[in-house]
Each structure stands twice: as C-alpha cells, then as structure tokens.
Amino acid sequence: MALPQNGYGLWLDYKKVSDASLLGDYQNQIQSVYFPGESSTLDVARAELKLGLNALLGTTMEFSSSASNNTQLIVAKFEQLDQKLQKNLKKVKIPEDGYYIGHVAGNTVITAKEDVGLLYGVFNFLRMLQTQQPIAKLDHLDGPKIDLRILNHWDNLDGTVERGYAGKSLWKWQKLPKYIDQRYIDYARANASVGINGTVLTNVNANAWLLTPSYIDKVAALADTFRPYGIKVYLTARFSAPMEIGHLSTADPLDPQVQQWWKDKIDNIYKKIPDFGGFLVKANSEGQPGPQNYGRSHVDGANMMADALAPHNGVVLWRAFVYSEHDATDRAKQAYLEFVPMDGKFKDNVIVQVKNGAIDFQPREPFHPIFGAMPKTALAMEFQITQEYLGFSTHLVFLPKLYEEVLKSDTYQQGKGSLVAKVIDGSLDNHKISAISGVSNIGSDLNWTGHPFAQANWYGYGRLAWDPYLDSETIADQWLRSTYSNDENFVKPMTELLIESREAVVNYMTPLGLHHLMDTNHHYGPGPWVSELARPEWNPTYYHKADAEGIGFDRTQTGSDAIMQYAEPVAQRFEQLEQCPENLLLWFHHLPWDYTLSDGHTLWDSLGLQYQKGVDQVRAMQKTWEQMSPYVDALSHKEVRMLLDIQLEEAIWWKDACMLYFHEYSKLPFPKGMETPKHSLDYYKSLKHPYAPGI
Ligand code: GCV
C-alpha cells in the first residue's frame, strides 16, 4: 500500500528501492561515503546525498573522514581525489559544470571540477538509484549543453501570476528580506536537481518599482538563498524605469543621463548581488515601453543595457516577441522582419530570446523562422511551461514532447542537420554563450503546479535545458519512476499515456494546423467565433479564416508569404501542398472543405474525426489511469481521476463548439464517427468566464 502523497516532495521524495536484489547490490557497493570539502554548495550536496541514500537504501549511511579502498562512494572535486584515482581518471575530460560518475578501482566515484558540478553529480547519482539503474559498471560523463538554463516567472509584485494556474506567487515580497520561507529553499533544490541555474523572478510585463533599493534588498535575500544551489537571479527591467522611479524626463537609450541612470542602477545591484545574472526585457511589445518610443531601435535599447551590465559579466535577454496592431502584415512574419536585419548589431552579452513558434505558445506551431536566421546573434529559446493555451492546470499534457519536436526540427539554415537545438546550444554558429528559458508553471499550490502531472513539465523542461537532445520518452520514464513507482506495469502504460497526451490536446483543440482558437483574453476554452476585439490579430477569426469555401491561413506565396522566411528545403515543403505535413496544413494553407487528405477523407470530415480522436484519446487516458490504482495512493489517484473527468468534458466542449461553428460555413453534415454535439452553438457562445485564472 503506497503512502499518501501530497505532491510537495516532487520527484525528490526518495522511496526505498523496491527491487530487493538491486537494493542488496547497492548496499554492498556503497557501504560508506567519503565526501570532503567545505562550501555552502558542498554542504547542500552532502545533505542531499545523506537524505537520499538513507531513504533509498533504508540505512543510516556512514560518512567517514577518510577514503577507503573498497565499496565506498567517494564524492570529491577532481583536485581532491587521491593520486591513484586521479591517474585512473586522467583521460576523462569533465565539462564545465559537469561531472563524472564511475566505478573506479573498487569504489564508486562522483567527481567534478566545480562545487556545483558535484551537486549535479549527486542529484544524478540519486536519480540512478531512484530509477533503479545498475551501478556496478558505471562510467558516466555528463555536462550541460546550454549555459544559462532559466525559469521565467511571470509573477507580479502584488502576488498574482500572469498566466499562472497554480496559486499565487511564491515570493512573499512583504516579508522579504528578513523572512526566508522554507519554500524558497525547496524551490532552489528542485531546480538544481534538474540543472536549472537561473531564475527571472518577475513578469516580463514589468514593474519599475522592483528596481527601487528596498526591493533590491529583497531580491538580494532570494539570491543569497538560491546561491548554494548554483542558481542566479535575473530581473525584468521596465524600459521606462528611469522616468518612473528615476524622475528623468526621458528613457531614450541614447541620452547620456539615461545611460548613467542604468549604469548606476546596475552597479548598485551588483553591490548587493555580486553574481546577479542580468535583465530580461520585453520592449515595444503588447504596450510595454521600449526604445521605439524614442525613435530608437531594439539594438539601441539592448546595447545600452548590455554596456552597463558587461563590466559585471551580466547579460541582457532581449525578447523578440513583437507584433504591431498598426501593421497589417501577417503577425507570424513580424518578429522575423524586425529582428533578422539587426543580426550582428547586438553586443556580445545580448541574447535575443525567441518563443518556440511565431505566434504564441500554441498546442502545435512550426518552429520560429528566426532560429538559424540570425547566425551572428546568440538566440535563447523561450518555451512556455505554464499551460496558457493548453488547458491551464486542469489538463494532463506532457510538454517535453512538444519541446522535443521543436528542438529536433531542422532549420536547414546551414544545410541538413541545422537543428533548432544546435542554434540554441550555440554549436551551429559557434556562440560563446547559450541560453534557454521556460515560463514557469509554479505557484503556491501545495503540489507546486496545480495538476500533479504538470510537475513533469517543470522537470522535463529542466532536463531538456541541460541536454536539448534528450528524448521525451526517457524523460517521462525517469519522472514517473522518481515520482511514483518503478513497477513496469505502471511505467510502461503511463509513459505511453504521457507521450500521447500532447497529440490529444492538439486534436481536441487545434487539429491540422489550426491555431489561436481560444476564447478571448483568458484563453480558457474555445472561442473560434470571436471577431470583434480592437486588435485584429487578437481575434481567432484572424487565424482560422473559415468561410464558405474552406478554412486555414494562406501563408504561401499567394497569401502572406510567411513561408519564405524559412530556409530551403523547409520552405518548399511547407509551400507544396503534397509535401506539407498534415499536422500543419491549415497553418500554411487555406483549403476547400472538400480537399482530400492522404487517408482519403475530405478536410471537413477529417477535421471532425480529429476532434473526435482527441476526445477518444482522453477517454483512453482515463481508462489507463483507472488501472493504475495499485501503484499510487488513493488520494493522488482520485485527484487525477477528477482532473481527467474535467479534461474529457472540456475536450468534448472544444469539439462541439468548434465543429458547430465551422459548420456554419461548411454547411456539411458531421462525419460518421463524430459524436453529435451535446448543445447548440448559441449555448457554447453564451458561456462566459470572467474570473478564469491567470489574467
Ligand atoms: C506576459 C501572450 C500572453 C501574455 C504574455 C505575452 C508575452 O500574449 O497572453 O500574457 O505577457 O504573451 O509573452 O509577453
């Protein structure tokens, strides 16, 4: 009988190894630990190892003061290993911030060049035991492939979280700097366990007040708390801060007074936080102030901040999420048009942060055409972990599958093999610095993420930030084993469920390349009929373009020509109907309702059947989950069951509302195999959700 889990312990609730023979092996191979060295990071690593080993092995592990010759776990920086071990490991080239774990001369050794490498090594060794890997012949070298692995919180100073569905902000600003909530420490530990090494504490829709001295003291207290875990703090900088809190008459980046203001501000931050990471900036986007307010460019704005940060080794993450309500150009084209001509003009410590797709974190988008198109600029990937457009924290959707699809997309910008992952890790264009950001799904809910399975998205983001070439099956497998159970009867079907869950949400929300059909503003539920918002590109009708003839956004040469922003042969593949992947068809093409798809169905029938498939996939998830009760405690089982019930109801809502609405244009009967809608279109249109969370 499993113990009740409230989810607070995440994937780090170490449980005793269930395989008796493996447990015996572990106990034989690790009879004591030698872990020398003093530092706040090493203390954290040692405490974690003690906690983990005692729980996993069901013993009180001896931590001895000297190395022995046999059956010991030795955890030490390379320089602290004895000569014999150093000699044995001479050929091992440990990467920066990485570690080596191996079976060497009768002992198990975890070694690294830096303290933080040892911390990562300890977490990874414990993961091996949690997931019940044999350790007798270990020879494992690992290191992060991306330098800055960052979580972006969209947390406001009033405690609300933009697009947050897991409670309030973790940061108790009013009690800081004196009161250090235990949760800050647990948060840092969880991040370190998957290799996340940076956190942007606040919303990109920024508040200048954050940069006032009293708030910097609060931020410094958080930075001190996170430091032992190898985590740096970054802040969002409001471009108009020199006016709002500095009382200058302008925020023009070329004005010497403004430049001096930022320099002084940044110098002061570094006095309090010597390892401050830098700024994340949303400028001239969705109403945020920026250099264009003064007739200047993104380059002027970003470089001004970069100059002030450079003496301290800080960076500017400058977002490329821009589109204008006054520009009739296809929104999908605008960021590329604005940013690509600026390639090569940014300072070395500017990283341009680009969302995974050109619209906005949809269930499926083609990769952003900027990736690979700015070879002289370091580009950071921005993923969304919080499920703004994917059912909030009510729907079970395993996002690493989505991230993997983007990272493994081939941009062909430097010929075959120019994967997005290579752009991001800097290897395609030889960048000195690389970065990835994930918009956090964490809040004050007891289980951190609202939906217990949304923890897998935080975990999976971290794992892919560490190694963007990992596959999502491995991540699912490891998370399930660490969080719930190693029983194959649980792990196998549940891995399949997680992997399938991403396609399910695409099918019941936006199949065949449809996008942005979510209801207005809060983005909860379907609203394909919304057409009256002031900004044209905020209306779902802008994206699906359904009419009597057909449906879809023509981005070919006869349409907006957005496809030409991709390199060949990607562009040809998207342009040619016969080659265009069917799962992106309506992203790139406006097609007649009777267009025939590869399986012989008409577009109309296929649309209905895809929506139905999504609904059926949720039913299959429910069925699988029903069989999982022997492996999870009753409370957790019930919790997920209730959430899946809601997910099914909402999947049906999506199918019915969208198909009824599109039927107004196609006038065709629903395909055989699609369940008849439960209500009328008017009923679905009448549903209003003024208090949906996350706004
Ligand atoms: C933080 C979308 C979201 C906004 C978000 C914006 C962004 O438009 O709906 O809430 O603002 O993206 O990424 O800046």
Contact between 151 and 160 under an 8 Å Cβ cutoff? The reply is no
- Say if ligand 1 is within 6 A of residue 360 CB: yes
Question: From CA 78, how far away is CA 89, in angstroms rounded?
Answer: 9
To test the pocket of ligand 1, the residue of 360, 518, 524, 537 to mutate (highest count of ligand atoms within 8 Å of its CB) is 360
Is residue 3 scored above 80 in pLDDT?
A: no
Q: Which of 333, 328, 359, 361 is nearest to 535 (CA)?
A: 328
Question: From CA 304, how far away is CA 570, in angstroms rounded?
Answer: 36
Ligand 1 centroid from CA 658, angstroms? 24
**Closest ligand 1 atom, residue 203 Cα:** 1
Q: Which of 52, 73, 54 is nearest to 64 (CA)?
A: 73
Question: From CA 235, how far away is CA 216, in angstroms rounded?
Answer: 10
Token pair, residue 399, equals 């996002």
| Given 115, 388, 405, 503, the catalytic residue | 388
User: Does 626 participate in catalysis according to the annotation?
Assistant: no
| Given 25, 186, 244, 286, the catalytic residue | 286
Query: pLDDT band for position 71 (50/70/90)?
Result: confident
Closest C-alpha to ligand 1, atom 8: 360
**Closest ligand 1 atom, residue 285 Cα:** 14
- Say if ligand 1 is within 6 A of residue 223 CB: no
Ligand 1 centroid from CA 140, angstroms? 40
Query: Could you write out the DSSP letters of every residue in 553-607?
Result: ---STTTT-GGGGSPTTHHHHHHSTTTS-GGGHHHH--EETTPBPTTS-BHHHHH
pLDDT on residue 326: 86
User: Does 286 participate in catalysis according to the annotation?
Assistant: yes
Sign, CA dihedral 391-392-398-403, equals positive
pLDDT on residue 325: 81
Query: In a 3-state reduction of DSSP, which class is residue 149?
Result: strand
Task: Give the angle 339-341-346 at the CA atoms, nearest 5°.
Answer: 70
Ligand 1 centroid from CA 382, angstroms? 12
Ligand 1 centroid from CA 386, angstroms? 11
pLDDT in tens, 334-388: 999 999 999 999 999 999 999 999 999 999 999 999 999 999 999 999 999 999 9
Helix pair angle (455-466, 400-407), 10° resolution? 30
User: Does 388 participate in catalysis according to the annotation?
Assistant: yes
Please state, rounded to an integer, the average pLDDT across all residues of the chain.
97
**Closest ligand 1 atom, residue 695 Cα:** 10
pLDDT on residue 4: 56
pLDDT in tens, 269-316: 999 999 999 999 999 999 999 999 999 999 999 999 999 999 999 999
- Which secondary-structure segment (H or E) carries 235? strand 232-236
- Which secondary-structure segment (H or E) carries 665? helix 634-666
Query: In a 3-state reduction of DSSP, which class is residue 438?
Result: strand
- Say if ligand 1 is within 6 A of residue 163 CB: yes
Is residue 251 scored above 70 in pLDDT?
A: yes
Section 622-636 average pLDDT: 96
- Say if ligand 1 is within 6 A of residue 154 CB: yes
**Closest ligand 1 atom, residue 355 Cα:** 13
With pLDDT > 90 as the criterion, what percentage of the chain qualifies? 96
| Given 360, 477, 575, 605, the catalytic residue | 360
To test the pocket of ligand 1, the residue of 163, 324, 356 to mutate (highest count of ligand atoms within 8 Å of its CB) is 163
Question: From CA 127, how far away is CA 671, in angstroms rounded?
Answer: 48
pLDDT on residue 631: 96
Section 256-272 average pLDDT: 98
- Say if ligand 1 is within 6 A of residue 282 CB: yes
To test the pocket of ligand 1, the residue of 200, 286, 353, 383 to mutate (highest count of ligand atoms within 8 Å of its CB) is 286
Cα 544 to Cα 527, 575, 590, distances in angstroms: 11, 18, 9
Measured between its terminal Cα atoms, the distance across the chain in Å is 41
**Closest ligand 1 atom, residue 162 Cα:** 10
Section 2-6 average pLDDT: 64
Cα 307 to Cα 314, 604, 611, distances in angstroms: 9, 55, 51
- Say if ligand 1 is within 6 A of residue 656 CB: no
Write down the pTM of the prediction: 0.98
pLDDT on residue 2: 47
**Closest ligand 1 atom, residue 154 Cα:** 1
Is residue 171 scored above 60 in pLDDT?
A: yes
Query: What ranges make up the beta strands (E) of 258-408?
Result: 278-281, 315-319, 350-355, 378-384
- Say if ligand 1 is within 6 A of residue 204 CB: yes
Ligand 1 centroid from CA 283, angstroms? 12
Q: Which amino acid is at 631?
A: Y
Question: From CA 404, how far away is CA 503, in angstroms rounded?
Answer: 13
Ligand 1 centroid from CA 505, angstroms? 21
**Closest ligand 1 atom, residue 282 Cα:** 14
Ligand 1 centroid from CA 203, angstroms? 10
Is residue 62 scored above 90 in pLDDT?
A: yes
**Closest ligand 1 atom, residue 523 Cα:** 9
- Say if ligand 1 is within 6 A of residue 521 CB: no
Query: pLDDT band for position 70 (50/70/90)?
Result: confident
Contact between 281 and 302 under an 8 Å Cβ cutoff? The reply is yes
Q: Which amino acid is at 662?
A: F
pLDDT in tens, 99-155: 999 999 899 999 999 999 999 999 999 999 999 999 999 999 999 999 999 999 999
pLDDT on residue 1: 42
- Say if ligand 1 is within 6 A of residue 361 CB: no
Q: How many CB atoms lie within 10 A of CB 255?
A: 17
Percentages of the chain per state (helix, strand, coil), in multiples of 5: 45, 10, 45
Peptide bond into 177 cis (omega under 30): yes
Question: From CA 172, how far away is CA 404, in angstroms rounded?
Answer: 34
- Say if ligand 1 is within 6 A of residue 321 CB: yes
pLDDT in tens, 205-250: 999 999 999 999 999 999 999 999 999 999 999 999 999 999 999 9
Closest C-alpha to ligand 1, atom 12: 360
